[in-house]
Amino acid sequence: MTEEFDDSFKELEQSVMEDMKRVYSEKTIDHFLSPRNLGEIPAHDGFGRVTGPCGDTMEIYLKVRDGRVMNASFWTDGCGPSIASGSMVTELAKGKSISEAQKITQQDVLDALGGLPEDSLHCTLLAANTLKEAIKDYLAFRKEPWKRAYGVH
């Protein structure tokens, strides 16, 4: 009985995987199933939260040292492609200077993921826009560091 269950579960798992491969690139599936940089960075230097037109929200946290993104992480309540996009945009931002990170576009995320179906394109835009918000937040706090002590976002 258990063996039968195991076999049918494996078959189901395989067929789900094959369906996903028909729609998404291997990179997207990899970042969706094993997201990098998931979760909050405590004592972050920049934070962005954006809700897209689909109603899903993404958050990005940045740790910045000497004008360079030392660490970046994300959280989302969105779909699989948004998880893959948050994972990829934070990977792209890490190690870049703030001005380089500011230039990361939706297309960069899309290219790095190996493309997405038309109806998931907005998920990469959500990730790129959330990164921009987090950078804006970092730059605003850099000008007025006293606000950080009061937890003003």
Catalytic residues: 54, 123
Kindly tell me which residue out of 20, 27, 49, 54 binds ligand FES, with binding defined by CB under 6 A: 54
The full length of the chain comes to 153
User: What binding mask, one character per residue, do residues 93-132 give for ligand FES by CB under 6 A, x or -?
Assistant: ---------------------------x--x--x------
The least CB distance from residue 83 to ligand FES, in Å, is 9
Q: Which is nearer to ligand FES, 112 or 123 (CB)?
A: 123
Count of H-run helices and E-run strands, the chain: 7, 3
Cβ atoms of residues 127 and 112 within 8 Å: no
Q: Which stretch binds ligand FES (CB under 6 A): 22-30, 48-56, 99-107, 110-118?
A: 48-56
- The first and second tokens of residue 6, run together, are 């195991």
With residues binned 3-state (H G I as helix, E B as strand, rest as coil), the percentages for the chain, rounded to 5, are 55, 15, 25
